[in-house]
Structure 1
Amino acid sequence: MMKMRYLGMAAVVAIVLATAFMLTGKKSAPDVSFTTMEGQNSALQSLRGQVVLVNFWATSCSGCMQEMPDLIKLQKEYGPKGYRTLAIAMSYDIPEYIQNYRSQTDLPFIVSHDKDGSLAKAFGDVALTPTSFLLDKNGKIIKQYVGIPDMAELNRLITDALNG
């Protein structure tokens, strides 16, 4: 009976420790490769050493269009300090629409089109836009946003990650 009690307590301790790790431990972003809209092949790993916002978006997404001016401001403000935005257009987006939007807004981002949906799948089957992942300099996910991020919080997290 005493042995069962110790096993039960050990199980509880193991669950608590595992939960604490899951809540505090950062998960690595998937090691994905992508092709930019200019046709250059690259990999997310090539951006290590920088704080990166991976933003899944679509030209048909009103929330995405609403957040873009703020994302542009973030890139312009923090870019010189080691921050990059990787804007990944969803598979259902139309390449001409993506190019037209880029031309009209002069996006200061790396822009890719997830033609086959593999990037969205690698990031946990992203289906809703906008969805963004803020990564630290080591490629670990600091925070995931589904919907338009709280820009004040995002600013703070970027600043902390750049200084960390």
Structure 2
Amino acid sequence: MSEGQVFSKDRRRWMAGGVALAAAAGGAWVGWSQLEGATGNEEAITAFWGLQLAQPDGAPLNLASLRGKPLLVNFWATWCPPCVRELPMINRFAQEQAARGAHAIQVLGIAVDQAAAVNKWLARQPLDFPVVLAGAGGVTLTRSLGNINGGLPFTILLDAKGKAQQRKIGELSQQDLEQWAAWT
């Protein structure tokens, strides 16, 4: 291989890396600006409170019934490893919050999954908070609430008046939950 060919391959790698870096930076900037615009998306949050979603056992849950107290909404799926990792921690958080009584943050899980998969998972790992099913439409719902890429897990904290106070795309940490609980 001649020196010119090595230089050419190296140069192509650098150029491809530079293009990828520029695209990622541009995408992050566009994503951040869209997320900022979505934080005031009162129409989407109003629509959220109007939803009635099925629980894994088929019983309907009107989300409006959860208004009046802070609500942590976690979008997850059984096929999503970070979702499954964070659910036991969120369950402990829900248990701790329930012990607080009137000042508790309620927790709601919205499964972006099929009922059979969710029921099978819940049989192995029961949760102490309500879970509803959104199916594939859950991704659209997360986007309307500020998750522009539709990635999972996605968590949003709504205050007692139903307004978004916190959002996180990706796996929650214990520190996230502690900070959010201190907010209330």
Instruction: Calculate the TM-score normalised by the size of structure 1.
Output: 0.72
The residue type paired with residue 160 of structure 2 is K
Equivalent pair of 2:110/2:131 in contact (CA under 8 Å): yes
Sequence identity (%): 25
Size of the aligned set, in residue pairs, is: 136
Structure 2 residue 124 is matched with structure 1 residue 104: yes
Structure 2 Cα separation of the partners of residues 95 and 122 of structure 1: 18
Contact 1:26-1:142 at 8 Å conserved across structures: no
Is the partner of 1:85 in helix, strand or coil?
Answer: strand
2:15 — aligned with what? none
- Whole-Å Cα distance in 1 between the matches of residues 179 and 55 of structure 2? 28
151-160 or 94-103, larger mean C-alpha shift: 151-160
- Normalising by structure 2, we get a TM-score of 0.65
Is the 1:35–1:112 Cα contact (8 Å) retained in structure 2? yes
String of CA shifts for 1:51-76, please: whole Å, max 9, x gaps: 21111111010000110111011001
Separation in structure 2 between the aligned mates of residue 61 and residue 122 of structure 1, nearest angstrom: 17
Q: Whole-Å Cα distance in 2 between the matches of residues 133 and 106 of structure 1?
A: 22
| Residue ranges of structure 2 left out of the alignment (5+ in a row) | 1-35
Give the C-alpha shift of residue 115 in structure 1: 3.0
Report the counterpart of residue 88 of structure 1 in structure 2. Answer: 110
Q: Between the two structures, name the one with larger relative contact order (CA 8 Å, sep ≥ 6).
A: 1
Distance 1:116 1:63, change over 3 A: closer
1:124 alignment partner, SS class? helix
Q: 1:87 to 1:138 in 2, by over 3 A?
A: same
Q: State the Cα distance separating 1:150 from its structure 2 match.
A: 3.3
Q: CA RMSD in A?
A: 2.2
Q: Which has the higher helix share?
A: 2
Q: What is the aligned partner in structure 2 of residue 114 from structure 1?
A: 134
**Aligned amino acid, residue 110 of structure 2:** I
- Work out the CA distance in 2 between the residues paired with 1:94 and 1:33: 16
Is 1:56 the counterpart of 2:75 in the alignment? yes
* Helix, strand or coil at the partner of 2:87: helix
Compare 55-64 and 123-132 and name the one that shifted more: 123-132
Bigger CA radius of gyration? 2
